[in-house]
Amino acid sequence: MFNARLDRPLLPAERSERLLRVEITVPRPEGSQARKPVHLSLVIDRSGSMTGEKLRLALEAARQAIRTLQPGDRFSVVTFDHQVEVPIPSTEATPGARLHAEAALDTVIARGNTDLGGGWLRGCAEVGAHLPEDAISFVAYELLLYGLHALSADYEPAKLLHTETLACLFDLCQQKAEVGIKLQAGHLCAGCLGKLSTVGLDRDVVTQLWRAVQALAQSGTSTGR
């Protein structure tokens, strides 16, 4: 259930600032149905621009997320400025691990510049290292499709995917095995190259991201088992 309300019932005719309170209530599972295990990676920006209240709130949100984890869940903590660090590698969410993670968060301070891509990819790697083998290529491919959003706000993957099989990264696959083959080849058809160029993404940019995601999939296959 979604509910929103202002801090007061009436608004002035002239321009003013008001507070909006938003509440989201998630229904509980019926009966004794247990939720599926969660595999979470918390990637925290600790760069200089996060100094003060922004970093404090980000760390408190991370603590709250860790406290809600249950036995059977996994989590990791990644921090980044111009360097990427992993204070908590992927681990089972035992009571001891959660306490250790909260203590590690207390040591995080703002500093340096921002390597957003590096932090994001490392968080993906922490999750990918413990995925089922048949899911790794599928997840890596999703990261490739939607990771391009970080490079171009005008990029929309749904507009590039095509049902015609052209041995292209944007072929719409029906089977997970096809995804793995497509991810290994890394081919882009002429039509997709043209569409990508209109949103400021050339072949070199896409190829660079493809190689990073491909390495992620390969590392997950080799280290996760």
Instruction: Convert the pLDDT of each residue in 162-191 to its tens digit.
Output: 777 777 878 776 665 666 666 666 778 888
Banded model confidence at residue 122, pLDDT cuts 50, 70, 90: confident
Q: Can you give the pTM of this predicted structure?
A: 0.59
Q: What is the pLDDT of residues 37-88, one digit of tens each?
A: 888 999 999 999 999 999 999 999 999 999 999 989 999 999 999 999 999 9
Strands 74-80 vs 39-45: parallel, antiparallel or unpaired = parallel
| Cα–Cα distance for residue pair 104/98, rounded to 1 Å | 10
pLDDT digits (tens, 9 = 90+) for 24-51: 787 776 766 777 888 899 999 999 999 9
For residue 164, the model assigns a pLDDT of: 78
**Domain residue ranges of the chain, discontinuous segments joined by +:** 39-128, 133-223
Q: What integer pLDDT is reported at residue 135 of this predicted model?
A: 60
Model confidence band, residue 160 (pLDDT cutoffs 50, 70, 90): confident
**Mean pLDDT, rounded, of the chain:** 80
- What whole-number distance in Å separates Cα of residue 146 and Cα of residue 126? 18
CATH number of 39-128: 3.40.50.410
Q: Say what the pLDDT of residue 49 is.
A: 92
Output the six-digit token pair for 24: 């989201």
Tell me if 78 sits within 8 A of 86, measured CB to CB.
yes
pLDDT at 214: 67
> DSSP per residue over 11-28, as a string?
--SS-----EEEEE-PPP
Write down the pLDDT at residue 209.
Answer: 74
